[in-house]
Amino acid sequence: MKASSVNINKSIQTISLYLVHRLSSEENCSSENALKKLLKTMTYELLQDKESGLYAESPEYVWSMLQDEKRGDIESWIKE
């Protein structure tokens, strides 16, 4: 069963909101600043790309990708 466009968009929105809240909490900054930081990441860009399927992963999984990106460890994204 293929996910509908509405469900995909809701999933992306939910994960994005989770990431903003986590970033805001972890970096002790406003939600607005956390959103600005998130928007500049490759993780967010990949989340927005519906072809990637990242929207189907858990928010915690996407958070760990964001943390990897912050550490410069994008290599961990590549799985054999």
Q: Per residue in 49-79, pLDDT tens? A: 999 999 999 999 999 999 999 988 877 766 5
In sequence order, which residues have a C-beta less than 8 Å from that of residue 78 and are 6 or more positions away? none
Can you give the pLDDT at residue 1?
A: 56
Buried b (16+ CB within 10 A) or exposed e, 32-47: eebbebbeebebbebb
2: pLDDT strictly greater than 50: yes
4: pLDDT strictly greater than 70: yes
